[in-house]
């Protein structure tokens, strides 16, 4: 029998109106018109789709999110490495510096659905910080967000720069700033994220990024791709309902990643999905060498599917022997059909 159920968030809203709490005005307030846009067009407030027959959703209609509206492009994030600014210290050692600003921002994660994210430098994931093993690193962090935040690096460092509440500077208050100083150790594929509590909320709202430490002698030349597996819980039920690589669901399904046949492709793959215990990566028509955490130059496995827990990351290397279109996706099919699905176009 047909049945309507309202999600927890809506139920809370209804409950709030009974209680008469301070949240009522927000929840019952006038909704300002957000936009629906045609493919490739910038959203226009108040656009009336009225009684026009529309086709939308995963398979048809507007399949993309305008990168200009979000301020970042999942495709550009793939090959965008932030090397910061460097200078040589008196000791001869390289000092590499970045400035990272945390602030709130509304982002569109699947066509038509906008959420307020907490970001590092206005993007989700945050910038991919890249350096070389042995360098001195300085990250100037400014909290321009609405809540206290931190930056916690997965690296070898002293406790005072661990970015954990109650240790060293701990939480960085709204409007405050702090400089994290650490060494680029060990080489490999790592991450950074906010460590303020509640942890799940600060991470799942977008405060994370990749942190790559190249080995001293580098790696072989390759077409390098950053893939951050993430997800969003738009209804606060403790369960994600939108999945992606680099934030926008299905982006690489509709915009295949172009790579060259027989060329070395290196994927930096990180799983930062909260609320689900595992994630996975599978590529069609090919196998790859797996370098867990990127801390060894010898692969551990030759496969076409891997499983990652939270914060787990791997460097994957592969060459496509045939031209054509090859899918990649989470092999947890629920995640795939909720957005974590893409294509390689081999030319």
Partner 1 sequence: MRLRFFLALVCLAAAIAVGVARPWNADGASASAVEAQSSLRPGGFVVVVRNGSREAVRLAQVTVDDAFVGFHATRLVLAPHETAQLTIDYAWVKGEPYEIGVLTSTGEIVQSDVGGAGEG
Query: Which stretches of the chain bind partner 1, using CB under 8 A?
Result: 1-7, 9-17, 19, 21-23, 26-34, 36, 48-61, 106, 110-116, 205, 232, 234-236, 241, 249-250, 334, 337-339
What CA–CA distance (Å, rounded) separates 332 from 281? 9
Q: In this complex, which beta carbon is closest to partner 1, that of residue 127 or of residue 206?
A: 206
Sheet with strand 152-153: strands edge to edge: 129-132, 208-214, 188-193, 152-153
Q: In this complex, which beta carbon is closest to partner 1, that of residue 40 or of residue 92?
A: 40
Minimum Å gap between C-beta 241 and partner 1 is: 7
CB 329 within 8 A of CB 341: yes
Q: In this complex, which beta carbon is closest to partner 1, that of residue 250 or of residue 268?
A: 250
Q: In this complex, which beta carbon is closest to partner 1, that of residue 238 or of residue 321?
A: 238
What CA–CA distance (Å, rounded) separates 347 from 320? 9
Minimum Å gap between C-beta 193 and partner 1 is: 19
CB 64 within 8 A of CB 39: yes
Residue 59: both structure tokens together: 């398979």
Minimum Å gap between C-beta 272 and partner 1 is: 18
Residue 156: both structure tokens together: 């070898």
Q: In this complex, which beta carbon is closest to partner 1, that of residue 114 or of residue 289?
A: 114
**CA angle at 36 for the pair 239 and 16, rounded to the nearest 5°:** 45
Minimum Å gap between C-beta 268 and partner 1 is: 27
CB 137 within 8 A of CB 277: no
Cβ-based neighbours of 190, under 8 Å, separated by 6 or more: 153, 154, 155, 210, 211, 212, 213, 293, 313
Minimum Å gap between C-beta 162 and partner 1 is: 27
Q: In this complex, which beta carbon is closest to partner 1, that of residue 38 or of residue 297?
A: 38
Minimum Å gap between C-beta 119 and partner 1 is: 13
């Amino acid at each position: 029998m047909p049945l309507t159920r309202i999600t927890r968030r809506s139920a809370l809203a209804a409950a709030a109106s009974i209680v008469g709490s301070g949240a009522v005005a927000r929840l019952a307030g006038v909704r300002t018109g957000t936009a629906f846009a045609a493919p490739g067009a910038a959203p226009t407030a108040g656009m009336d789709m009225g009684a026009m027959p529309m086709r939308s959703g995963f398979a048809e209609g507007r399949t993309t999110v305008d990168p200009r509206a979000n301020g970042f492009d999942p495709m550009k994030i793939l090959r965008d490495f932030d090397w910061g600014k460097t200078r040589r210290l008196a000791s001869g050692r390289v000092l590499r510096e970045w400035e990272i600003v945390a602030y709130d921002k509304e982002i569109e994660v699947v066509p038509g659905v906008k959420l307020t994210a907490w970001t590092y430098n206005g993007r989700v994931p945050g910038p991919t910080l890249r350096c070389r093993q042995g360098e001195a690193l300085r990250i100037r962090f400014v909290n321009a967000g609405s809540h206290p935040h931190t930056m916690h690096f997965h690296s070898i460092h002293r406790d005072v720069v661990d970015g954990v509440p109650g240790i060293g500077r701990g939480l960085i208050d709204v409007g405050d700033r702090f400089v994290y100083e650490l060494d680029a150790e060990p080489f490999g594929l790592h991450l950074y994220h906010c460590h303020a509590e509640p942890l799940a909320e600060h991470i799942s709202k977008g405060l994370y990024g990749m942190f790559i430490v190249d080995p001293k002698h580098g790696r072989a030349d390759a077409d390098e791709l950053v893939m951050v597996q993430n997800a969003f819980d738009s209804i606060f039920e403790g369960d994600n309902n939108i999945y992606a690589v680099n934030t926008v669901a299905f982006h690489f399904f509709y915009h295949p990643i172009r790579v060259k046949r027989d060329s070395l492709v290196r994927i930096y793959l990180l799983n930062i999905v909260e609320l689900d215990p595992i994630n996975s990566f599978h590529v069609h028509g090919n196998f790859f060498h797996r370098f867990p955490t990127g801390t060894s130059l010898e692969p551990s496995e030759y496969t076409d599917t891997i499983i990652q827990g939270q914060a787990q990351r791997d460097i994957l290397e592969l060459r496509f022997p045939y031209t054509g279109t090859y899918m990649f996706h989470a092999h947890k099919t629920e995640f795939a059909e909720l957005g974590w699905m893409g294509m390689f176009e081999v030319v």
